[in-house]
Structure 1
């Protein structure tokens, strides 16, 4: 299988990236983070599925792109060209595979293409990285041989890892001479419990006496502990007093000395500050004198320079006018342009007025109300008219459909009614079948007569109530008709055609409704129930005159047939009622449409009247006419704006000319010049006067600086004098001599305070508090007190030791009694430990069996498949080491290799150098891919796996890779020195997701 093309929609930092025409030996070169690892992960993801969210592998989901995934195009030896596409979907993505022969498929077809390879096996056999080589560096001893054997069987260290895990699990559970494994510990515990079970019965009577004696001893021990604690605290304080009594006495003497000196107010570092102020005060007199002389010289220079201040006061105004001279020319050009536009707008206004063709003048159109509300109303009315026309067409179509359906159902109902038995015949038939006698018929006849009388009285009451309501409705309709007629006359009087039309239409509609309301519905005068009862009365009377019933079975069949027909008739009648409802709804919608259409015309004509648009134009072109009116008003406003702007330009030009003329007449000797020459002359004069002003300002600024400096010097001189006075005030001294005497006393007081502070700092961590120190000052026999306390403490400790020994003896006796009395608990523990031992033994046997199966599998692999792979690995190793090593032997026992040098010396894997071990590993991996898995011919992907090789070894490994013609090689590297080993057409440069071909 060969990868021909890679197209990445979005994967990590790579977006919309295409790599075409991949070579048989393709090199991808790029700096760190250029996308090499991303492309490798992309190939793995497309072939075997994206990593799930629970996986430890990176998913490379794009941060700035919704597309996730891509496709690769491959050539397969058996299937030809194929495209594999995988995008975001389920956990591993949704895959689509399309083959050259037109076959399409998903995961199943992809597995067929890949020969049911999974991702882990592919990465172990055909994907190289630094991890394998780094694992070799981290191993020691026989682990290297096991790792190489595992790499030669599975492509990874998983075989050696599985063997190590099994061995570790076995050793964790049992070792023949061990103590810490679980089985060993359980055996020891079981043996100990078995011995303790034999100590079951014995001492129980002495238990209570031992408990009481133990409590008494513990109380006495607690009292001794309390006495020892108090004696230790007292002893510690006495020892502490022996250390600090000299400091306490010195503290007391220092406080007395400070009290004798009393309170002294003297500034901090007062002597040094006074002498420093005196030294600073002398230089200020000479500096003040020099500043006065320089100020006088500057005043004389200022008197010689006098600028025209009156002219300069108007500088900003003049500059504004001068800057407007270019504007004057620009305004002239703008004025000509606006005049040309005015002519154009006049023509467009005439054209719009002709298109409107309204019986009004242009000025009247400006008064038309075209605000947003009117415009919205025009849009609403126009849309409403269009909608009404569409509604009418739809209603007419529905009317025809419903009418045809109704006529069809009426025919079907008439046909069904003709097949149903008449009511009289059916009743007679039912009576014959029911076998009614004369007495029951007479009872039924009496019951019917009673019902007839009840319904007759009820019908009379309903007719009286209906007449009363009809009279009331008649008055209401007449009143509403008079109101509508009044509205019609008002419309005629005010000449509002819409109002007249609405009044007439409403009056006619009210009249129709009134006529319909007063027409009593058919069947209203007669009660159907009453008629039915009367008819039934006649039938019962006829039955009483007849007493024969014949042919019972035939009558029953006839009745069943009539029941079916009646059911069919009821269904048709129900459908007919529903169709009548649909038909009535269409008629109602027609009536609603007519009302809506009348309202629409009323609104349309009202709008047309407001805008003075003829009604025939409004019916067809309301929206277009309104748009032309808006356009005319817009053009008129723009024309007025242009006229106003031309007037403003003329006024502005005149203002500029007048302003410049005013300054020229006042400050220039020659005034008969054009506008530009006057401006130039005024600029020159302004320049000369400004130069004078600048010179004057410089002198004034310098004068001000000198005056400020003089003021500052005088202020600083005064400040020094005030500071000296302040020092005298703080010390409460009237002269310098008194100030120095107070300074000496203040220095002595500071030293005493400092010493007192040091003493208190040393005493603050003492365990003796300040109030206790006063009581200790009166003690004189401290040494004797310490000796006595020590003797008493020794006596108490001896007694405490004796009590502790006695307590320990009693505790032992109690423990013996307690242990000897819990036989059932010990028996339970023994059985529990025995069960745990059996369960651990089962687990140990499972791991033993697994280890045995693994060993047999490895032995079969060594004898059947490994020789062919080792032969190819020896060929590769011979080439890589340039003949120094030429054979690879299997160890007779275990899983490991022996390497034979050219001088027939045999080495174990751990005896080789790191570089040689790596060469053995590469030889085995390549041999595994090209022998045992040669039929798959997947691309071999290598990610900088040989960066630790020197130049010679690297060149040899690259030559070996180039010789593997049956597999495509994808080589990823970030090292420029490797590129010299490849041709330019086989190298692709990766730069932040951009693919380039080197020049």
Structure 2
């Protein structure tokens, strides 16, 4: 992982290369918190003005942001860059294959994790190590659940908000909540409604039946709820059947071993007595053997004092034996190290192709200035090459556009007339326009003729139809008129005459209309004949040609302007490309000078310069190591040679055989021992015999006492021999182990699950019972649905009876209140069901994930406290408890501040380890061991390295004693005012 800080807070243009376990060491205000915030901002966005987080906008730089280079599985090296832009900054995610993405891909890479989740799980400081001791089991479970799912306390807050909303709606003993108020009003209305219904005989049986149905529905719902609880316990039994069987076997075995009688610590006491017996017997045998040896020495020859004068020299040689062995070992070790370092130096020179001799390695320039020059040269050259590639693509696109414009211009030029032809066409169109009428006039007159013909046809058809009808009506009226005249009915005769006159007037008007249409049509046809178009085809063709030429000329002028603009654009691109080529050549010359200065071959690829420079720094360090080791080897060989010559000279002076220094020193030691032994034997042998005899008698008595104690111990245990005693001790120990196992399993299993398990003899019976319960639940659901339908129908009948009664107004208000109560109850049930769902989800989390987290936390806690605390307990409705090594149980609040923080770190690391397969994100810790002593700080650092196997760990501190536990490669030293140095 690498950090490139363009500008963030007081950090400006900084670059850090990070290892899997990286220590940031520095004083206060050296930049530790700034770097920690920088990582958060690059991954999750800059804090907005509305947020309370510090924004770290640089004061002395216009650049704001930076990038992180990291290695991801299946993706390779990924660059995440965020700079000043929109609210959270502009993000660029670039992959190793050159693909560039944005914020959405970054969220996928982070597993949809937000800033708050990350800071609650993977990033913490002293502020986060507080108040863990006050959490009870349920609260800790909820804490771990929310930390594992959202990383915040949003779910806890949401649950509390739901509870407040429920209490605002309903309280069992409350008067002000909405449901309580509506229930009180509803009871009064119900009383009034009942009083009005008592007179209705049909109403009362329906009410009774409804109550019966409600009672049956309530009973069915209660039975269904009980069966649902039973099914949950059966599911738990089926899932934990093997554990429950084991629990039953342990309980049975404990009942078999409960009547054992055995002395306290009996086996330990026997072992101590046996050890004491063996030690005393061995010592007694030693005393007897010494007594025998002393007696034999009394009869040995006198002392040989030939070499008495050389004793000081011999002792002095033997006293220098350890120094000789040290020099010899150091010489061999330095020789091996020299060969290894020389091999590394040769491999590095060969790998880089350096044109430098080994003795000239110190002359290599590995300064920070050279590193900065290489970085700047490579960055500049990369940018220039990328810009040239972009210009090439852009120039190619612009050339294609230019060619397209040229082709269009050529096409237009081929279709344009010569200027003389164009002028002649203009004169021709003008002349033809003055001589002839337009086509539009002729078409308009023809349209008028067609319209008049249509009107004439319709009028004529209407006149014929009207004549037919009028003729029939005329005959009928004539008949009625004649009948009236002959019968003397003059009214009928007058009406018939009047009707005949109307028919005659209608026929006359229709005939006149037809004649008018005929005259109009004749006039229009005469006018159409008068308008005779003369050679209109010639005029139309000339006008069309003139219009086309005018359009071609206008389009040609636009294309020519576009062509000039495109040529100017390409010319500017070519000038920029020439400038880039010159800059690239200058950059290549700069890189060649750097390669010459670093003794690199000319064909060495410039992209590898950064890696080569790092290897050169390592090469210089290896050469310094080689020189130091050579001097140490020469010194050790010189000391070994001097000691060998001195020892060999003494042996030659005394005519003794000298083979090797080691054998000679053994001979000298034997000589001194013999001389000293022979001198002291005679003086000490008599003085030693008397107390030796007394010791022999004393220890013989002690052995007899130990054997009596062993016999008494076996008798107390009710055993006949040692073998039977030990077998009984093994059974007692087995009983203790079973008790511990029983206690642990009892903690993990609920009593209801155990009771349910004892009802069955096999897993198959439990599964059959679970299936039967499920079937019963289905049957109850069907029966419940039928009763609810009947209740709905019955309620409708009651409502029908209630309508139109004298108490209708009261009943309407009563039903309105019932509806209001239903809505409030629905709202209350919504919050209740949401809370139940959240609780069940957390219980499921507790059953599946919580044991693994607690197991990992116990392992971490044992390591942090050096085995002083063994277990962590989470009992129902109790605070966190821990068990000390001696079996004493403590509440977390009773622990010291340092131990409480170690407990929290153990749980936090357990959570990180439990979700490590899904989120492999870096862990950030800011001074988390302030209250730890030296031993537990070392244990914490050991656990930190264990976590660093699966997660990159960045540890920030200002304490020097922590710095000593990290190598130079694992440490970055930050300074308050001076430039930051990367170690």
Both structures adopt the same fold (TM-score exceeding 0.5): no
- Output the TM-score relative to the length of structure 1: 0.35
TM-score of the superposed pair, with normalisation by structure 2 = 0.35
